[in-house]
Amino acid sequence: MTYEDNFPYETYRKYQRGVLKQVEKSFGEGKDNFILEAPPGFGKSAVNVAVAKSFKSAYIVTTQKVLQDIYKTYGLPIIKGRSNYICPVTEKSSDMAPCTFVRDYLKDEGCDYLFEGECPYNVAKQECVESDVCVMNLSYAFILPYPFEKRDLLIVDEAHNIDNLALDYATMSFSRKLLGEEVPTLGSIEEYAEYLSDAIPKLKEMVKKEQNKYEKVEDEAYVRSIKRIEKLIDKISVFSNDVKDGNQWIVERSKWNIKFTPVTVDRFVKDILWWKGDKTMCSTATVLDGKIFKNELGIEGKAGFVSVPSSFPKQNRPVYFLPVGLMSYKKKEETMPFMADMIGRICKKYGGENVIVHANSYDNARMLSEIIKTDKEIIFQEQSEREASLRQFVKGSNKLFISVKMTEGIDLIGDKCRVNIISKIAFPSMADERIKERIKMEDGWYDWKTVIELLQAIGRTTRSDTDRSDTYILDSSFGFLHSKNKHLFPKWFEEAIQWNRKPFQIYDKGKVVSEINKLVKELGKEYGDVYLSEIQKETHYSNLVISYALNTLEYQHKITRPANDIAKIKSMDV
């Protein structure tokens, strides 16, 4: 029986059959790892299912919960974290169930629901344990509770996210007043490791006290406290042992908390993930650089590799680069009026269509939402209402969604979204001490992370071979990023980008200021006081762009023009 015999559909999308043959050949030649790079719409999930079913036992691990539901449509059992199930005892989330924290709960009292097969979490868990192929998210796979065991194959879908989730797994943050006293400022990471190791016995005593309190009053506050302390104990143990092995960590102290972050995570991925499959397979749209990818994720040994081109017509997914201005911290205030103006013009062109803007930060999103002029309904993605904001956007038409971190895990197919705007290239923050240290350790890593984020954002639209959407990159920094890293950009992107086509005029800031300056002088001579409405009649620029020029000129005129003329400028109705 071949891998093709386990393919879940009667027909193949373009390239799927060829990829299955390459995966089968690679594993047949004795390679322990395989890496599949395929753009959105290739159908990675179907290929992953076929490969998994070709082994006696396999795990399919996703980095996003939403992908688990996709695999469920193939008839595979899935297991999620306890918080996704209701405990029949408490009728609340299963992560607060008594069996997870009360000492000897099952041994002394027993749980009727568990043994009668009515505990939803344990029913799902047992189904996965007994199935040849089961699906779980990466956080669950890191822990992999009993009685799960090592399997013949481990597949990780959207594998480019492994490092971020492993970083979250290892990072440790807690109050500076640990055990009721201030954690001292120490001279080295080794001293912190020793100090925290010495605190573990006291933390364990705290757990016992909290358990006693709960057993008397059954207050959920004690449950949360128990779980928080137990998690901290585990993280301190990992941290201390890792420091003893000579690995580099960053310590950051804020007003209230102290945080410890590893600079690299490859060793953690080896310890908590890769050993769970005799063979491994990674699938993602963004490998980009095989060496960096393997180093970052701790993949050892020889690996088979295939990179698949896009099967979508390039005319259905054009990418336009319109360098409106730089959106760096120092430059974004200057660029923002021009950015909002361009987004407004794009919205006007696509009347009735849904448009998404990837703003990268809530600060950027808030600024844009306040100044963009459009007849579309503007949806600002509230930090606490991520999913609700997305649902509001995809229902209906003629909406502008100003989003943050919506670059993955969403499928904006068809009329859900026809225009995809990248207003800010998502460079990793240089304010992060870990990022600074990580850059020193590997050439190209910083740009590699940036390009992954960009390509993932572009892939949110045009989701089938008959779908269509237009993408606009407005952050001027893309030009340098691309010219420096052409080797990172896959063929499906290069064939889509329209370097020589500019659907909209790009305004030169200096030229705009000069034109408005000349116009103000001419109108001032003719009418005396100059008002915004008079300027609007004489130019095609929007209020946003005119206001930018006036603000700039106001400063210049204080230096170069007589006092009476300054008053005229200040009296303008802006």
pLDDT tens track for 28-45 = 999 999 999 999 889 999
Banded model confidence at residue 178, pLDDT cuts 50, 70, 90: confident
Crossing angle of helices 445-458 and 290-297, in 10° steps, is: 100
Q: What percent of the chain has pLDDT over 90?
A: 75
Give the per-residue pLDDT at 566.
Answer: 40
The pLDDT of residue 103 is above 60: no
Tell me, what amino acid is at 473?
I
Banded model confidence at residue 242, pLDDT cuts 50, 70, 90: very high
The residue-averaged pLDDT of 181-200 equals 95
270: which 2 tokens? 């080896």
Give the per-residue pLDDT at 498.
Answer: 96
Placement of tokens 């000129």 in the chain:
553
**Burial category of 187 from C-beta neighbours within 10 Å (exposed 0-12, middle 13-18, buried 19 and up):** exposed
Alpha-carbon span 431 to 443, nearest angstrom: 19
Report residue 358: phi and psi, to 5°.
Answer: -95, 100
The pLDDT of residue 148 is above 90: yes
In 96-150, at which residue ranges do the beta strands (DSSP E only) sit? 133-137
Give the per-residue pLDDT at 171.
Answer: 96
Give the per-residue pLDDT at 212.
Answer: 82
- Helix, strand, or coil (residue 475): strand
Placement of tokens 């990179």 in the chain:
307
Banded model confidence at residue 449, pLDDT cuts 50, 70, 90: very high
For the chain, state the CA radius of gyration.
Answer: 28
- Helix, strand, or coil (residue 161): helix
Cβ partners under 8 Å of residue 499, min gap 6: 321
Element (H, E) at 175: strand 172-175
379: closest CA among 395, 470, 422?
Answer: 395
The answer to whether the CB of 273 falls within 8 A of the CB of 284 is: no
- Helix, strand, or coil (residue 64): coil
Span of 107-111, 147-151, 273-277, 320-324 with lowest mean pLDDT: 107-111
The pLDDT of residue 525 is above 80: no
163: closest CA among 428, 358, 481?
Answer: 428
Report residue 462: phi and psi, to 5°.
Answer: 50, 80
The answer to whether the CB of 484 falls within 8 A of the CB of 447 is: yes
Give the per-residue pLDDT at 554.
Answer: 65
Alpha-carbon span 355 to 70, nearest angstrom: 25
115: which 2 tokens? 């043994």
The answer to whether the CB of 291 falls within 8 A of the CB of 35 is: no
pLDDT tens per residue across span 249-306: 999 999 899 999 999 999 999 999 999 999 999 999 999 999 999 999 999 989 999 9
Give the per-residue pLDDT at 350.
Answer: 97
| H helix and E strand count, the chain | 23, 17
The answer to whether the CB of 132 falls within 8 A of the CB of 77 is: no
Placement of tokens 């095609």 in the chain:
540
Task: Print burial letters for 406-419: b (CB count within 10 Å at least 16), e (below 16).
Answer: bbbbbebbbebbbb
Give the per-residue pLDDT at 409.
Answer: 81
Q: Which residue pairs, CB below 8 angstroms and at least 24 apart, start in 115-123?
A: 118/88, 119/85, 119/87, 119/88, 119/94, 120/85, 120/86, 120/88, 120/94, 121/82, 121/85, 121/87, 121/94, 121/97
Report residue 245: phi and psi, to 5°.
Answer: -80, 0
The pLDDT of residue 107 is above 60: no
- Helix, strand, or coil (residue 325): strand
Any alpha helices (H) in 131-188, and if so which ranges? 138-143, 162-170
pTM over 0.75: yes
- Upstream peptide bond of 262 is cis (omega within 30 degrees of 0): no
The Cβ of residue 495 has, within 10 Å, a number of other Cβ atoms equal to 12
